[in-house]
Structure 1
Amino acid sequence: MGSKRTLNIWVVTILSLSFLLIGLFLHLSVGSTIMNIHTIFNAIFQIDQSRETTIIQTLRLPRTILTVMVGAALAVAGALMQAITRNALASPEIFGVNAGASLAVASATLLFATLSPSMTVYAAFIGALLGGLTVYVFASGRKMTHVKLALAGTAIHLFFSSITQAIVILNERATDVLYWLVGSLNGKDWTHVQVASPWIIIGLAIAFLLSRSFSILSLGESMASSLGERVQLIRLIGGLLVIMLAGSSVAVVGPISFIGLIVPHITRKLVGLDYSRVIPISALLGATLLLYADILSHFIVYPYESPVGIVTALIGASFFLYLVRKERLIKQ
């Protein structure tokens, strides 16, 4: 049985990497101009002054790298939330983290004439922390349950989103935020990669290192304590990692929904509940899913580009309804 499980994990890993590599090529090749693999390799490794090299180096390559990082970050953030809350409904968007980050960025955009990418990240962190803490306070009460967490998270998400939309509608200076609120990778360059990459890389690295602790925590507080884990400390670190990963992602691309909800579900179905496997495979699948979603976004109103958040919302909503239909929204 163990050898079969190990073989299954290797198959999942190899297939995930294969689809990711194919997605990387397709993502670099698709756009207003379709490019073949030879052109892409020349543009990356033999830099010249051609038009194709300029397009790849300044537009497509940073967007592809950012897509991979954000997809991995959102998926791992969702996996961590589901581990520390032991709630299959947990994800950054449902628990108010994304909505809080969006509200903070929209407010900062209104208050300051110019907002640098680095300041946007800090604003998103503050908003993500505010959203998460607000949900926690309202859900705790006498006894915290999965239903209370889900209801409080949904209510806070809708409340913060309504305020954000009001800010955008009532203030002309914030109208540019409206497109960003859908979740978009359009127009991203190396500046956005440089701003987001340190936070995402550090957050993913810490999540990988603490994966065993998150596995034990997902078994329950009593079990984790009996096995010597410092439950409250691990939960605190997990919460900070979620804010770091989701906040930095929202800051640069907007609140892309459902990646953090559906990818951990698929991952646990494929490789089991061990978070030393769930976290890296979630990162692979999250990056792959967002890559292909962004590719599809090019063809909705081709040759114009659509926000990738539209595609992920369609995929995620369908998957969410499937889970409800199968009554699988239960404790891990």
Structure 2
Amino acid sequence: MNPTRNEATVSKSPAQVRSRPWAATLILIGGVIALMLGIAVSVSFGAADIKLSVVWEAIFRFNPDLTQHQIIQELRLPRVLGGALVGACFAVAGAIMQGMTRNPLADSGLLGLNAGAGFMLAICFAFLPGLPFMYLILFSFLGAAIGALLVFGIGSLAKGGLTPVRLVLAGAALSALLSALSEGIALYFRIGQDLAFWYAGGVAGTKWFQLKIMFPWIAAAIIGAIILSRSITMLSLGEDVAKGLGQRTGLVKLAGTVLVLILAGAAVSVVGAVGFVGLIIPHLTRYMVGVDYRWIIPCSAVLGSLLVVFADLAARMVNPPFETPVGALIALIGVPFFLYLARKERREL
């Protein structure tokens, strides 16, 4: 055995040993290029196909007298950019949750955050009609927080403590309850059509004013997640390890929870119940770049944006001119992936 090599290996943290910065750099560069191409193709494709040259002109030399330019600027561009933003939101939220809780099944949709936000939206539509979108986002944050608190509270009551599968089972039960209550409110107050968009999950109705309101929240939350990423890496190695390295774990968990609530609440207020993005993308990213969250979080943001943008494009291609809900297409990938992960955790039941 080479003692010099052995000492060098021990001196490194597990995150350094298992991280792959070169792979993360390739993902960030290639992902951004692919995302730009995906946005261009998605904007050009629809009920009326538009040439890429026209898309370029509509973005940089907008002419309000041209119908195609109006379609691009008022309908397609905010839709595609909204999909990219919420994809990044769900993916980063899932990465933070999985890192902090060391739970491979953690996802805002599976742990009741999306259902909680949707329930608060139903209450807003029923009792506060015409509420400005800014306040809808705030109520979404509140609903996501209530959903998270209830799920963790219910899961903690189980004999043997809070295991990953028990947490997901509690999330599934609470999500079903909150969804049923939301549907009951929708039927009683006759607001089913208003809520149908959030039930299905999609970016078709995204408008510029929504993006202007949600973008500062999302940008601040993602920047905060990147700043917190080193501490999340330590937490992902175990709470005892994090404390031994001088981390204030309680403060890190509080900050991470606030970031997750902002990301999940903002995304649900725009696209509704789109699940599994925050489950699939962080696992895929960790497989490619390692366990260092300084790379996982930005790479997850890029890959999450890619997934939602291309899923939205596919949703328009399945049965044109009709659209398939984006949430349904992502679930086709997410459900088998969830079952695979749940099978790995079955011994904890």
Q: Tell me whether 151-160 or 251-260 shows the greater mean CA deviation.
A: 151-160
In structure 1, list runs of 5 or more residues that go unmatched. Answer: none
What residue in structure 1 maps to residue 54 of structure 2?
A: 39
* Residue 245 of structure 2 is aligned to residue 224 of structure 1: no
Q: Tell me the residue number matched to 1:201.
A: 219
Match for 1:195: what amino acid? Answer: I
Residues 106 and 174 of structure 1 are in contact (CA less than 8 Å); yes or no, is this contact kept in structure 2?
no
Aligned residues: 330
Corresponding residue SS for 1:298: helix
Residue correspondence of structure 1 range 209-220 to structure 2 within 5 A: 209-220=227-238
Q: Which segment drifts farther, 215-224 or 33-42?
A: 33-42
Amino acid at match of 1:37: L
Q: Distance in 1 between matches of 2:285 and 2:345?
A: 14
Provide closer, same or farther for how the CA distance between residues 245 and 3 of structure 1 changes in structure 2, counting only shifts above 3 A. closer
- Aligned counterpart for 2:151 among listed residues 135, 155, 179: 135
For residue 89 of structure 1, give the secondary structure of its aligned residue in structure 2: coil
TM-score by length of structure 2 reads: 0.89
Higher mean alpha-carbon deviation, 201-210 vs 143-152, is at 143-152
Instruction: Tell me, yes or no, if structure 1 residue 296 matches structure 2 residue 314.
Output: yes
**2:29 alignment partner AA:** I
The question of whether the paired residues in 2 share the 8 Å contact of 1:169 and 1:175 is answered with no
Question: Within 1, Cα distance between the matches of 2:164 and 2:100?
Answer: 12
Higher gyration radius (CA): 2
Shift of 1:305: 2.4
1:113 Cα shift? 2.6
Q: Distance in 1 between matches of 2:205 and 2:103?
A: 36
Hey, what's the Cα distance between the residues in 1 that align with 2:59 and 2:124?
37
Aligned alpha-carbon RMSD (Å)? 2.1
Matched residues in 1 for 2:198 and 2:145: separation?
A: 20
Are 1:92 and 2:105 counterparts? no
> 2:94 touches 2:107 (CA, 8 Å); kept in 1?
yes
**For the Cα contact (< 8 Å) 1:28–1:61, is it kept in 2?**
yes
Q: For residues 265 and 105 of structure 1, what CA distance do their matches in structure 2 show?
A: 30
CA distance in 1, matches of 2:332, 2:20: 32
Which deviates more from structure 2 when the two are superposed, residues 114-123 or residues 163-172?
A: 163-172
Give 1:320 shift: 2.3
CA contact (8 A) 2:118 2:272 kept: yes
- The unaligned stretches of length 5 or more in structure 2 are 1-15
Q: Is the deviation greater in 266-275 or in 300-309?
A: 300-309
Structure 1 range deviating more: 158-167 or 140-149:
140-149
User: What CA distance in whole angstroms lies between the structure 2 residues aligned with 1:226 and 1:173?
Assistant: 53
Identity %, equivalent residues: 38
Which of 312, 319, 322 in structure 1 is aligned with 2:337? 319
Which residue of 2 is the match for residue 287 of structure 1?
305
User: Which deviates the most, 22-31 or 267-276?
Assistant: 22-31
Equivalent pair of 1:79/1:264 in contact (CA under 8 Å): yes
Shift of 1:34: 1.2
Letter of the 2:38 partner, please give it: G
Check conservation: 1:75, 1:283, Cα contact below 8 A.
yes
Check if 1:12 corresponds to 2:27. yes
Does the Cα contact within 8 Å between 2:118 and 2:198 map onto a contact in 1?
no
**TM-score, normalised with respect to structure 1:** 0.93
